[in-house]
Amino acid sequence: MIMSVMKIRFSRRLNFNKLFLNFSTNVKSVNSSESGHYIQICNEKYKTDQFNNLSTSILQKINVKLLKNENHPLTILKSLIEDHFEKNFKNQYMAVDNLLNPVVTAKQNFDDLFIHKNHPGRAPTDTYYINENQLLRTHTSAHQREVLSSKLSDGYLISADVYRRDEIDVSHYPVFHQMEGIKLFSKSNLTEESKIQNSVTKFNIKEEKKGGPIQTCHDLNECDLVVNNLKKSLEGLIKELFKNEDENLQIRWIEAFFPFTSPSWEMEVLFRGKWLELCGCGVIQQEILNKTGNGDKVGWAFGLGLERIAMVLFNIPDIRLFWSQDERFLSQFKKGQITQFQSFSKYPSCYKDISFWLGKNKSDTNVNVHDNEIFDVVRDAAGDLAEDVKLIDEFTHPKTGRKSKCYRINYCSLNRTFTNAEVDEIQNKVKDIMLKRFDIELR
């Protein structure tokens, strides 16, 4: 997850709509690629500038709202998590979804969370910007302050679509879904409020690392109580979600760094022999609580990726499937049930390479194009037909110093066989857009 420096219902359904009246997720008209124009997202008009890098395919995704379909595997998972928290912590967590605007400010997404100005996650090659100050949220943590300021609850589960410019392969997609959990406790009644039934003692906890420094404003005991509640809450959740798996499910807590929590961890679970990173979490920076009118509280937060968990629980091998409108996919899932995806026939792959010189002239040695820019072009031209894209060759001409790159695109449809001619047509479209957008010469 990008915010880590190392690597990069059931609950009270209070009327959150009141707070977010202006927001609904609707893209009306799109005029994305030019600057100095307006685009309309969520019934709001936004002025674009030279920072605008929204692609057409991304703008179309904002409308889809997968979490509105209760029989979609992501929604099933989201509801299972929400139900788990409601069952075990009655009325303590409020579910927030589909109400928060995916367009946030750089302040909300980064500054408010103490993500420093040079963090790679801020780069336009990683984040979709509308203009210098407005962007598509890259994580649900972007809503921490507005939700905390509402003071509607001491616990929240915020589910939303998040957007990141990323590579193309079976586990990466430029839109995915996260759930942010937040729990606050009164400082004055912390021991009582943070008590948690020890329902997870059978758990095999592999590595328990310290998780970084305790905040100077917290004493050791205060921090321990919050951390204990956080870990037990998440362990209980994982135990519930993975109950059909191994009896001796193993979890480990890896020390992590997030600017908005301290101490911080990443929680991993040993799933079929592989450690799987499930979520980042930690003790909320007190300054965030102080600034949102919660100075008398302490608390924890976590952020988990729904696709990653759904892929393992439902046995879904390719992240593109979540966006499939194919009945053979959608009809397999029913609200409240974790069922194993039965793959329907896989259609043949077709590989096409694209090679180019960076710079139109032999003397152009300083031109570069970021991988994520290439991936966005492929997404725009090929949509979900592109299963993955890899940089397979890169070299610098020994005499001119000019760089050459070659990308291999694997075209594979989830629902039909494509003729070579059709794939060629798409490949030509990719080339055309690349030539228009980048300073390159095709080889």
Residue 208: partners with Cβ closer than 8 Å, 6 or more residues away: 252, 253
Phi/psi zone of residue 379: left (φ > 0), alpha (ψ -120 to 50 degrees), beta? alpha
Phi and psi at 193, nearest 5°, equal -70, -30
Distance of CA 246 to the CA centre of its chain: 27
Of 196 and 284, the one with the shorter C-beta distance to ligand DAH is 284
Q: For residue 397, give the nearest of 429, 358, 425, 436 by alpha carbon.
A: 358
Of 48 and 262, the one with the shorter C-beta distance to ligand DAH is 262
Residues that bind ligand DAH (CB under 6 A): 1-4, 139, 141, 180, 258, 261, 280-282, 301-303
CB 265, min distance to ligand DAH, A? 8
Of 141 and 233, the one with the shorter C-beta distance to ligand DAH is 141
Of 263 and 359, the one with the shorter C-beta distance to ligand DAH is 263
Of 10 and 258, the one with the shorter C-beta distance to ligand DAH is 258
CB 66, min distance to ligand DAH, A? 18
CB 182, min distance to ligand DAH, A? 7
| Residue 442 and residue 435 in contact, taking contact as beta carbons nearer than 8 Å | yes
What would the two tokens of residue 302 be?
């976590």
Phi/psi zone of residue 86: left (φ > 0), alpha (ψ -120 to 50 degrees), beta? alpha
Of 233 and 261, the one with the shorter C-beta distance to ligand DAH is 261
CB 138, min distance to ligand DAH, A? 7
CB 240, min distance to ligand DAH, A? 20
In the beta sheet, which residues pair with residue 280? 266, 303
Residue 89: partners with Cβ closer than 8 Å, 6 or more residues away: 155, 233
Distance (Å, whole) CA 21 – CA 105:
18
CB 264, min distance to ligand DAH, A? 6
Of 69 and 125, the one with the shorter C-beta distance to ligand DAH is 125
Q: For residue 347, give the nearest of 263, 395, 410 by alpha carbon.
A: 410
CB 304, min distance to ligand DAH, A? 8
